[in-house]
Structure 1
Amino acid sequence: MAPLTFFLLLISSLFLSSQANLHHHLQPSETQDESFTSILVSQQGLDFIKDLLISKAISSIIPLQLPATIEKSARIPFLGSVDMVISNVTIYKIDVMSSYVKPGNSGIVIVASGTTCNLTMNWHYSYNSWLLPIEISDGGSASIEVEGMEVGLTLGLENHEGTLILSLKDCGCYVKDIIIKLDGGASWLYQGMIDAFEEQITSAVENAITSKLKDGIVKLDSFLQSLPKEIPVDDIASLNVSFVENPLLSSSSIEFDINGLFTARKKVPVAKQYRQTWQPSVSCTGQSKMLGISLDEAVFNSASALYYDAEFMEWIVDEVPDQALLNTAGWRFIIPQLYKKYPNDDMNLNVSLSSPPVIRISEHSIGASVYADVVIDVIEADQVIPVACISLEISGSGSVKIVGNNLGGSVKLEDLSMSLKWSKVGNLRMYLIQPVMRTLVQTVVIPYANSHLGKGFPLPIIHGFTLQNAEIIFSSSKVTVCSDVAYSDSDHLNQLPIRSE
C-alpha cells in the first residue's frame, strides 16, 4: 500500500496551495493551451517525497482488516479430520525496508520490496476423534509475520483539458513467506495450522493490498481532477496553473508544463497575446536539487499587463521626503512662470503609466522599461488644476529572490529620459526639471514598486513544504528556480485522500 502514497503525494505536492479549496474557472483565451511555466521533480525530489511520506501512508491504512473468514478441514495423523476457522485477520504493522519510484516510457513504476507485515488473527478448531466419543474444540489468537513482501504498480498520467488523469496500468502484490505463531490452544497443532492456512492467508494479504491499491488510485484520480486550475494571488490576480500537454517522463525525473500566466480574478472580455519564445523545459546547473521551476518572461509581462489594466499603476503623490517639491515655491527657479501664476500653492503629482511595463530576461539580468506620465497639479481653493504633463521613459534593472515559497524581487533605476507632453504655463526647461523627476522616481516610484515586488507571488508548491537552499538561474527569456525542499508538519497532508475507509 505504501507505493500508492509516493505517487499521490508527489503529484499533490506540486500543485496545491493553502487556497486549494477555492475553485475558479479560466477565462478562455488564445494562450490557454500554451505553457509558460515548467516544473521538474528530479530523482532526488522523488526520493525525498517518498521517504518523508511513506510513514504517513502506513499510519493512514492500518489497522487493515482482511474481509474474509477462512475455513478449512485438514487430516491430522491419529486424530482424523479437523475443522479449522480463522477470523479477524488484521494487519497492524507494516515496515518497508526498501522502495523506489522510477518514471519511464511505460509509465511511472513504483516498487516496495523487502516489506514485512505483522498481523493478528483469531483461530478455532474442532474435531471428533475415534479415541473419544465427544467433540473436542479449542481456540485462541495468533500472530503472523509476513516476510519478503513486494508491492509494485505502474501508473499512467495524462493531461485532459488542463487536468491530470491518472490510470492504473498494472499492480500486484507478492508474499514470499509467512510465519504463524499461536497464542494459547494446543501447541501440537502448530504445524497443522501452518500447513492448512499458509496459502490462504498469503492470498488474502495479497488480495487485500492489491484491492486497496486499486481503490486508492481511483480516489487519487478523482482528487487530481478536483484540483483548482487557478491559485489566487490577491484580490486582483490569480495564477493559471492548468496543465498543458502530457507530463514528460524521463528515466530520472518528471516534468509538468502549466500555463503559468497571471489572470484577472474578475474576468474581463480582453484577451492578451504573449509570445512564447522557448520550449518549456527546466535546466538546473547540477543534478542535486530536488525541484526545478522555470518561468518564461511572459509570466512577468502577464502580471504587468494585468495590474495595468486593473488601474493599479496609477497614484497621486502628495507626500515626498522633500516637501518643498509639493509647493510652487519650491519650483520658483525651475518653472518661474508656475510660481508667478500660482504663488505658494500646494501641489500634487499625478503619476500614471501610459502602458504596461515591459520585462526582458537575459542570461545575466532582468530589465524593465516603464513609460509614465506625470501630471503636475496645483491645488488652489480646494480645486485641482492640471498645469503640465511630462512623459517619462524609465529603464530599470531587476533582481529576484525567494521569499518563503514566493518569487519576489526589486528594481532599481538605470536611466531616465523625459519630454514635455503638454503645458498650460508655457514652455518648460526640461534640463531643470529632470533632477526633480529623478528624485521623484528614486524616492517615491521605486520604493512604491519594490514594496509590492518584495512580497512576490506564489510558486506552485504545496502548503507545508518550503523551498530551501534555492538557486536562481537566468537564461534567455526565462528564470529558473532550482531548490531543495523542506517539510514542516501540517494538517494539510492529512486531508489528502489516502485514508482507507
Structure 2
Amino acid sequence: MSVLVWSALLAFIPLSLSINPGVMVKLTEEGLQYGKQLGMASVQQKLKTITVPDISGEERVNPLGKVRYTLSNMKIMDVGLPQSEVDLLPGTGFRLSISNAFISMNGNWKVKYLRLMKDHGSFDLTVNALTIITSIAIKSDETGRPTVSDISCTATVGSASIKFHGGASWLYNLFKKFVDKGLRNALQKQICPLVADAVSDMNPKLKTLNVLAKVDQYAEIEYSMVSSPTVSPSSIDFSLKGEFYNIGKHQEPPFSPSAFSLPPQVKNMLYFGVSTFTANSAAFVYNKAGVLSLYITDDMIPKSSPIRLNTRTFGAFIPQISKLYPGLMMKLLVKTATNPLITFQPNNATIQTSSTVTAYAIQPNATLTPLFVLNLESSVSARVFVSGMSLAGAVTLNKVDLTLGTSYVGEFQVKSLDNIFQMVLKLVVIPKLNAKLAKGYPLPALGKMKLVNTQLQVLKDYMLIGTDVQFTG
C-alpha cells in the first residue's frame, strides 16, 4: 500500500492561475477518512524504523552507592496507533493527529555496583500515551501536480513501563528515576523526522497523476491545475484544466470555459464535475484532426436492407441519377461542416452537428463522379456513463433536417431522401460513433485507483460524478 495513501485523494489540487477550470473535483470528509485508514499503516511502518541508541549512565542509589547502568540492543517490536484523526486546515491542507499510541521494544540491561558486583539480563518495555500532531501543506509543482510537505510537527511520549528479566527489584526504581526520561527524549527526537519522511514519501505517488492523459492517436486531455485549492472545514475543491488537445499540438479552441462550482455533497468520497467546455474541446480537437468524416459504401449497409447504395435505389427518388449513371454503385461522404455543439441540461445531454453529405457514383474505373451535396443538420441525445476509470457514452438519433446544397443532376425533392438518410445514420454512422464513444476518455487518476459506487447526473452545463474510491496497490 502506498505511503499515506490518503494523499492520493488530494492529487487533484490546482495551480494558482486565473483561468476557469473545465473539470472540478471535490474531496469530502468521507474521502479523507478513507485515506486516513490506509495511511495509518504507512505511518506505523515508518515508526517501526525508530532506532534507539544505547542508554548508559552512573547514578547514586542508596544504599548501594554509585551504580553504572546500560540499556543496549533496543529494538522496536510493535507500534500501535489506536486513535487517529485527519482534519482539514482551511487555506493550507490537512492535519493528522495520533493519540494514545504505544511503542513496544525489548533489549538488554546490565549494571555494575559496589565496584565488583555485576548483573545483567533482558527487558521488555512499552512506551504509552504517545501523541503526534503534524500539519501538512499542499502546493503544486512545476508540472501541475500536487506536492506536500510537513509544516509543523509535535510528538509527546508519555509514560514508560518496563519488565526486567533477571535482577533485583531496585532495578525498577533505577529505571523509573533516571532512565525513563532519557529514553523518552531519545524517542521524541526521532518521531517527527520520521513523520516528515513519511510525508515526503507521498510525493512520488502524487507524481503519477495523469496531468496529460492520452485518449487515442488523435487526442490527449490535460488535467493540470489552474487555481489554488479551496479548503473548507468539510471539503477541498480542486480546479483542473480538463481540456482536450491534438497530440503534440496544443491549440486553444475559439471558446473558453465558464465558471462553475460543485454543490455541497457528503454521500461519496469524491466528486467530479465535467463541464460542457471539456466535451466541446473534444469536439473541436476531433474536428480539427479531420476524423469527423466517414465514407459510406454499400457493404456497410446490412444485407437485409431493401435500400442499397446504388444508382438504381436513388434513381427511384431522383430519376436523373439512374438515367445518367445506370447500374453504378454509389458512395457517400458524411463530413462535419462546423464543430459539433454539445450541451448539458438536467438529465439531458445533446449533440448538434452541421454536416454535408456528398453522394458519388462509382465509375467502372473507380473514379468518383459527384451527384449532389446535401446540408445535414442533426441532433442526437447522449447517454453518458462511467466505465472503469473512463467517461464513456452512447448516442441515439433525435432528428435530421436535410436541405440541398449543390446538385449535379438537376433539381429534385430533398424530402424524398429523408428515409434513406435516416436509415444510413441509424445503421452506419451512429454505430460507428458509439463504438468510439464506448472506449471513453480517462478521468483524473492516481496510481492504481478504482472507482466504486459510482453515480452520474447530467446537470446544467456540467456532469456530476459521485463515487467512492479504492486503491489496489
| TM-score, length of structure 2 as denominator length | 0.90
Q: How many angstroms apart in 2 are the aligned matches of 1:226 and 1:451? A: 29
The one-letter code of the counterpart of 1:433 is: L
* Alignment check: 8 A CA contact 2:205 2:447 kept: no
Q: 2:79 aligned with 1:94, yes or no? A: yes
Relative to structure 1, the CA distance from residue 52 to residue 156 in structure 2 (aligned partners, 3 Å threshold; closer, same or farther) is closer
Q: How many angstroms apart in 2 are the aligned matches of 1:242 and 1:110? A: 27
RMSD after superposition: 2.6
Displacement, 1:221? 4.8
* Alignment check: 8 A CA contact 1:64 1:90 kept: no
Q: Deviations over 1:157-199 (max 9, x none)?
A: 2345534343422111111222122234555523322332211
Equivalent residue number for residue 55 of structure 2: 70
* Alignment check: 8 A CA contact 1:335 1:428 kept: yes
Equivalent residue number for residue 28 of structure 1: none
* Alignment check: 8 A CA contact 2:218 2:286 kept: yes
Gaps of 5+ in 1: 16-30, 491-501
* Alignment check: 8 A CA contact 1:85 1:124 kept: yes
Equivalent residue number for residue 18 of structure 1: none
Matches within 5 A, 1:93-172: 93-105=78-90, 107=92, 108-129=94-115, 134=116, 136-159=117-140, 162-172=144-154
Equivalent residue number for residue 8 of structure 1: 7
Displacement, 1:301? 0.4
2:316 alignment partner, one of 305, 328, 333: 333
* Alignment check: 8 A CA contact 2:4 2:202 kept: no
Q: How many angstroms apart in 2 are the aligned matches of 1:88 and 1:306? A: 65
* Alignment check: 8 A CA contact 2:205 2:446 kept: no
Relative to structure 1, the CA distance from residue 235 to residue 396 in structure 2 (aligned partners, 3 Å threshold; closer, same or farther) is same
Relative to structure 1, the CA distance from residue 355 to residue 186 in structure 2 (aligned partners, 3 Å threshold; closer, same or farther) is farther
Residue identity (%): 24
Equivalent residue number for residue 64 of structure 2: 79
The one-letter code of the counterpart of 2:66 is: S
Q: How many angstroms apart in 1 are the aligned matches of 2:74 and 2:243? A: 53
Equivalent residue number for residue 225 of structure 2: 243
Displacement, 1:222? 6.5
Relative to structure 1, the CA distance from residue 338 to residue 357 in structure 2 (aligned partners, 3 Å threshold; closer, same or farther) is same
Equivalent residue number for residue 335 of structure 2: 352
Equivalent residue number for residue 208 of structure 1: 190
Equivalent residue number for residue 278 of structure 1: 259
Relative to structure 1, the CA distance from residue 146 to residue 8 in structure 2 (aligned partners, 3 Å threshold; closer, same or farther) is farther
Equivalent residue number for residue 451 of structure 1: 435
Equivalent residue number for residue 38 of structure 2: 52
Relative to structure 1, the CA distance from residue 169 to residue 401 in structure 2 (aligned partners, 3 Å threshold; closer, same or farther) is same
Displacement, 1:11? 2.6
Q: Deviations over 1:379-400 (max 9, x none)?
A: 2222222222212110112121
1:38 alignment partner, one of 21, 24, 28: 24
Matches within 5 A, 1:364-403: 364-381=347-364, 382-403=366-387
Q: How many angstroms apart in 2 are the aligned matches of 1:300 and 1:148? A: 54
Displacement, 1:377? 1.8
Displacement, 1:219? 4.3
Q: How many angstroms apart in 2 are the aligned matches of 1:366 and 1:81? A: 86
The one-letter code of the counterpart of 1:423 is: S
Q: 2:174 aligned with 1:192, yes or no? A: yes
* Alignment check: 8 A CA contact 1:401 1:409 kept: yes
Relative to structure 1, the CA distance from residue 339 to residue 184 in structure 2 (aligned partners, 3 Å threshold; closer, same or farther) is farther
Q: How many angstroms apart in 2 are the aligned matches of 1:334 and 1:201? A: 97
Equivalent residue number for residue 23 of structure 1: none
Relative to structure 1, the CA distance from residue 239 to residue 91 in structure 2 (aligned partners, 3 Å threshold; closer, same or farther) is farther
Matches within 5 A, 1:169-318: 169-185=151-167, 188-221=170-203, 224=206, 229-267=211-249, 270-279=251-260, 281-283=261-263, 286-318=265-297
More displaced 10-residue stretch of structure 1: 302-311 or 322-331: 322-331
Q: How many angstroms apart in 2 are the aligned matches of 1:340 and 1:292? A: 61
* Alignment check: 8 A CA contact 2:128 2:159 kept: yes
* Alignment check: 8 A CA contact 1:277 1:477 kept: no
| TM-score, length of structure 1 as denominator length | 0.85
* Alignment check: 8 A CA contact 1:138 1:186 kept: no
The one-letter code of the counterpart of 2:425 is: V
Relative to structure 1, the CA distance from residue 88 to residue 306 in structure 2 (aligned partners, 3 Å threshold; closer, same or farther) is farther
Q: How many angstroms apart in 2 are the aligned matches of 1:323 and 1:85? A: 98
* Alignment check: 8 A CA contact 2:208 2:446 kept: no
The one-letter code of the counterpart of 1:453 is: L
Q: 2:465 aligned with 1:481, yes or no? A: yes
1:441 alignment partner, one of 416, 425, 431: 425
Gaps of 5+ in 2: none
Q: How many angstroms apart in 2 are the aligned matches of 1:9 and 1:202? A: 33
Q: How many angstroms apart in 1 are the aligned matches of 2:409 and 2:91? A: 75
The one-letter code of the counterpart of 1:430 is: V
The one-letter code of the counterpart of 1:116 is: F
* Alignment check: 8 A CA contact 2:18 2:227 kept: no
Q: How many angstroms apart in 1 are the aligned matches of 2:97 and 2:410? A: 80
